[in-house]
Structure 1
Amino acid sequence: MPGYLKYNCSNKEDINRVLKIMSSVYPVSKELVKEFEMHVQALSIKKDQILFNENEVCEYIYFIKKGALMGCTTHKRQQITTYISIENEFVSSISGLHGLAHSQEYVIAVEDTDLLAIHNNEINRLFLQYFELNYIFRVILEKYYKHAQQRAHIIRVGNAKERYQYFAKTNPGYLDRLPSELIASLLNVKPSTLLGVKKSFTVQEERNKELEMWEEKLRTHMDTHQSFRDKAIRLQSLAQEIGLSSHKLSIVLNNYINKSFIDYINQYRINWIKESLRNPEIVQNFTLEALAYSAGFSSRSAFYNAFKKLVGVSPVEYAKNGCP
């Protein structure tokens, strides 16, 4: 290991943080807790500082308390990022796990990073003594292996957009936190390509937020004013009521709500009728057709067709079955 790395005594609070994560996988015995308290050390490294090099034996297993690390290899003098890890993750040499071989990758700090470390001699001894430690690390390694397999698959078969979507979904927060060139290297795309894809997704997210805002305004207006009960309601008139252009309202309905204007209005009308049918007094004094006209339907046939389309049964069948 590099001689400039200075290991210090760790505090109990930090060790308990590691043990809490381990205990979420399998209960940790009091004896193993004591072992960790005796042998876990603390280490802090600066951004761009190497934790261990290629062709070195990695002597420790690390836990990231704060910060970020990346694993890299070199091919034809080009740096290839193999993984990026942040807080609450374990890191060691993949190719030289447990110090049994020289590492084929090096690990470097992406940010100023605080670590907890336990020497491989100690962890290997504890593996022989404590079943729970073997089980916990097996589960953790399985998780890391699955993520690595998924990442390798998407990089081999996915385009830049699919790789970006995968990374954003599996690593929330990484995209805004970590340098783009590192993520581009990890996903095997050009930095310019990654920035272009990221920009297109940012534009789409902003557009979705705008659509969500207008959908909420539309819903509030419909609930408050019951505009659906107006038999003469049209897309243009409803758009004018809520202060939106007809084109934008059409986009909100078709692209965000995924309903045509008439289906959207009819859904409100039918929901109003269904709610009315739950009131015994209304059922005794009004026919289905009268409720339909009151809800905004202009004809019996339009009411029956819309009800069957959106509910799946006729209004008569619905009423007979107890109006669920």
Structure 2
Amino acid sequence: MPKASNLRHQPFIRPDPHLEDLAINHISSYHPLPKALEDKVRACLFDAKVKKNEYLLKQGEISEYLYFIIQGLVVGYTMLKNKKLTTYICLEGESVSAIKGMYGEGPSGESIYAVEDSHLIGLPIRNLLEWLETSFEMNIIIRKIVESFYKSAHQRSNLVRMGTAQEKYEFYLSTTNHNIQRIPPRYIADLLDIKPETLYKILKKVKEPNEATLQAYFQVIENYMVGQQAFKQHGLTLPKMSGDLNIPAHQLSHILNFHYRKSFSAFVNSYRVDYVRNKLQNIKDWQHLTIEAVGSEGGFSSRSAFFAEFKLNTGMTPAEYARSGQN
């Protein structure tokens, strides 16, 4: 019989309220939570701190928790015919659980472990299953979470089918939403199903644009984000920005990661937060709007994403920031 891991985090310790907010904001980014359901979710959240190389779940165990990553780097892999296949890499702001056996209906198809000391918020699967029976909203949320897991798995299957290691790396660069400088290259190599030394050779061969070309790229990007205020586009994607600027997606991703030192989403959201901050500093600019409407005007697609990103960047909620500017 598959082994359960229900003692791994016991006794449960409730997270600090601001960390609960991060988990709730993540869940709500898929679909708004009714207040009654939000209260139930908060009551079931628990704090989970794991050390480097510590396992959250081992292949063959029963998956009992869904995790939200507050800080850290987590990798999922499966063993197949004595070969380790990395299936996903997750960073701060993402959720992680088993893909196969997520609902605890059977043994997990993968192992999940921390690549570095990590801080997570856990939510028992048994509670999710209860809410699935009674909550329409939770059905939507879980469906979207599962879709995101399978989308990641599908992307990985596309990666390994590509021809050369160079093509795999360029495709990864053009599709990932991660700041790849946060990820040790050997884990990227595992995900791409190439040897680490091969990836190191690719990284050494990556041609940096000359200084004049690089400065031209910076100017084009700055004009796009500031002059055209492209950050206001809801759902702006790397491929869309790449097409608008006529810069190959993998090259644009490389520039953002290695020169701006940000993932695509962090890069775009920094402009959105700056826009909202400037707006909130002058009440005359937004007194006819709600704070949520200001966030939407700035490009945020949902209230929860707006609030979470704003607090991450400023340490305050939008309302707190607005009040501080009026004192």
Structures share fold, TM-score greater than 0.5: yes
Per residue, is there more helix in 1 or in 2?
A: 1
| Aligned residue number for residue 98 of structure 2 | 93
Gap change, CA 1:216 and 1:193, over 3 Å in 2: closer
User: Highest relative contact order (Cα 8 Å, sep 6+), 1 or 2?
Assistant: 2
Q: Write the distance in 1 (CA, Å) between the matches of 2:218 and 2:183.
A: 34
Structure 1 residue 70: Cα displacement: 0.6
Structure 1 residue 36: Cα displacement: 1.2
Q: Write the distance in 2 (CA, Å) between the matches of 1:215 and 1:126.
A: 49
| Aligned residue number for residue 17 of structure 1 | 22
Q: Write the distance in 2 (CA, Å) between the matches of 1:131 and 1:215.
A: 46
Q: Write the distance in 1 (CA, Å) between the matches of 2:7 and 2:33.
A: 33
Matched letter for residue 214 of structure 2: E
Q: Work out whether 1:53 is the aligned partner of 2:42.
A: no
Gap change, CA 1:5 and 1:214, over 3 Å in 2: closer
Structure 1 residue 60: Cα displacement: 0.9
Q: TM-score if structure 2 supplies the norm length? A: 0.61
Q: Write the distance in 2 (CA, Å) between the matches of 1:4 and 1:38.
A: 19
Residue correspondences, number: 215
Q: Write the distance in 2 (CA, Å) between the matches of 1:216 and 1:157.
A: 31
Over the aligned positions, Cα root-mean-square deviation in angstroms equals 2.3
| Aligned residue number for residue 196 of structure 1 | 201
Q: Work out whether 1:157 is the aligned partner of 2:162.
A: yes
| Aligned residue number for residue 121 of structure 2 | 116
3-state SS, counterpart of residue 71 of structure 1: strand
| Aligned residue number for residue 43 of structure 1 | 48
User: 71, 74, 90: which is aligned to 1:69?
Assistant: 74
Give CA-to-partner distance per residue, 1:27-81, whole Å, 9 cap, x none: 2100111101211111000110111112111111111111111111223433221
| Aligned residue number for residue 213 of structure 2 | 211
Contact 1:71 1:107 in 2 (8 A): yes
Q: Which runs of 5+ in 2 are unaligned?
A: 220-246, 248-327
Gap change, CA 1:142 and 1:75, over 3 Å in 2: closer
Matched letter for residue 211 of structure 1: T
Moved over 4 A (4+): 214-217
Structure 1 residue 168: Cα displacement: 2.0
Instruction: Describe how 1:1-324 pairs up with structure 2 within 5 A.
Output: 1=5, 3-6=7-10, 7-201=12-206, 204-205=207-208, 207-213=209-215
Gap change, CA 1:25 and 1:47, over 3 Å in 2: same
Structure 1 residue 90: Cα displacement: 1.3
3-state SS, counterpart of residue 99 of structure 1: coil
